[in-house]
Amino acid sequence: MPLPHWQVTTQPSLIAMMVSALGLTGDEQVLEAGTGYGWQTALLARLAAYVVSVERWPDLVDEARLRLAGQGVGYAEVVLGDGTLGMPARAPYDAVIVCAAFPRVPEPLVDQLRSGGRLVQPIGHGGQEHVQLCERRARGLVHRRMVTTARFVRLYGAHGT
């Protein structure tokens, strides 16, 4: 389903695979880069202790906040900002999920991930990606497995494009 600003909603089955790959147990603090209308944010808020979702478009932030509030979704905060920069004020995170494609994981997101934390992101240039599950270790981000292949819009921001 198209969203404003040439964005699209991710199909529910793909969201389910990405969220499942995070292995959430209910105690985690999660960072989501790319809120859209907040559907995935709502799922994350039901599976984790707290979600911070960063969206770059003000109208999508407003819409997501309204939708989440209308559904009584608590434990989720939608903020206007650059998803490639994350939200360092709320770090560290136990899990990070990126909802757009880029050839590498933005370094600020790695820096904000707790040791042992998991990250899911589509890796590629936009159009045909490998959705990867990674884990933060002392030596940096370690690839764990490919979740699936999919098509995503490109990640934009200071550490994207």
CA 153 centroid distance within chain: 13
C-alpha torsion angle, residues 24, 25, 29, 34 (rounded to 10): 20
Q: What integer pLDDT is reported at residue 36 of this predicted model?
A: 85
What CATH code would you report for 2-150? 3.40.50.150
Residue 155 phi, psi (nearest 5): -80, 130
Q: What integer pLDDT is reported at residue 152 of this predicted model?
A: 84
- Cα–Cα distance, 131 to 152 (Å, whole number): 10
Tokens representing 153? 């819009």
Q: What integer pLDDT is reported at residue 161 of this predicted model?
A: 60
For every one of its 161 residues, what pLDDT tens digit does the chain have, with 9 covering 90 and above? 555 445 556 667 888 999 999 999 999 999 999 998 899 999 999 999 999 999 998 999 999 999 999 999 989 999 999 999 999 999 999 999 999 899 999 999 999 999 999 999 999 987 789 999 999 999 899 999 999 998 888 887 888 66
User: Is residue 145 helix, strand or coil?
Assistant: strand
DSSP bridge pairs for 143 = 134
